[in-house]
């Protein structure tokens, strides 16, 4: 049961658990990326590593949140929501990167090495947290569609 008194589905609980693990590991990796950014390029490297890591966390957290919602919908509606979410997130990411590319002030402050460290470490942290959380889940298996042959049936 959630705070509103509604029953929470098994898939929503599983996806939420994986999201918490991903966020935990991603933020730990972000701290490492911030340190690398600071050591390689000072304050500018710190800002670049932070922006790269933040982009990864926002992109994947939004996607995982949509997956929790899509798991509660009809499969076709859930698939449509998931695909639409991905298209919107990819378009927003592209728009942000284009805006950065077209701004001379931001281009002067951009440091590709700390930015890539931020993206790479946080992405590795996100995936590691997801795998870590998934490996520790207890997944109940319910197969209500296949009830098996009736008692006394001739079918084998």
Give how many domains the chain has, as a whole number.
Answer: 1
CA 120/CA 112 separation, integer angstroms: 12
Averaged pLDDT score across all residues of the chain:
85
CA 109/CA 121 separation, integer angstroms: 21
Query: How many C-beta neighbours within 10 Å does residue 20 have?
Result: 13
**Rg (the chain; Cα; Å):** 21
Q: Which two tokens stand for residue 139?
A: 């997944």
- The pTM of the full predicted model, rounded to 2 decimals, is 0.77
Q: Are 48 and 41 in contact (CB under 8 A)?
A: yes
Does residue 142 lie in a domain region? no
pLDDT digits (tens, 9 = 90+) for 55-112: 999 999 999 889 888 888 888 999 999 999 999 999 999 998 888 889 888 888 888 8
Residue numbers of the domain that contains 36: 10-135
Does residue 141 lie in a domain region? no
């Amino acid at each position: 049961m959630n705070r509103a008194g509604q029953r929470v589905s098994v898939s929503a609980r599983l996806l939420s658990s994986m999201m918490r693990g991903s966020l935990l590991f991603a933020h730990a990796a972000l701290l490492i990326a911030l340190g690398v950014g600071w050591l390689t390029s000072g304050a500018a490297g710190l800002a670049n590593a932070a922006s790269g890591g933040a982009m990864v966390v926002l992109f994947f957290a939004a996607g995982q949140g949509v997956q929790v919602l899509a798991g509660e919908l009809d499969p076709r509606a859930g698939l449509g929501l998931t695909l639409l979410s991905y298209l919107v997130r990819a378009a927003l990411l592209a728009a942000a990167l284009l805006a950065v590319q077209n701004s001379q002030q931001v281009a002067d402050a951009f440091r590709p090495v700390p930015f890539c460290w931020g993206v790479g470490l946080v992405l590795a942290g996100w995936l590691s947290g997801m795998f870590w959380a998934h490996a520790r889940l207890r997944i109940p298996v319910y197969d209500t569609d296949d009830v098996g042959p009736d008692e006394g049936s001739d079918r084998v």
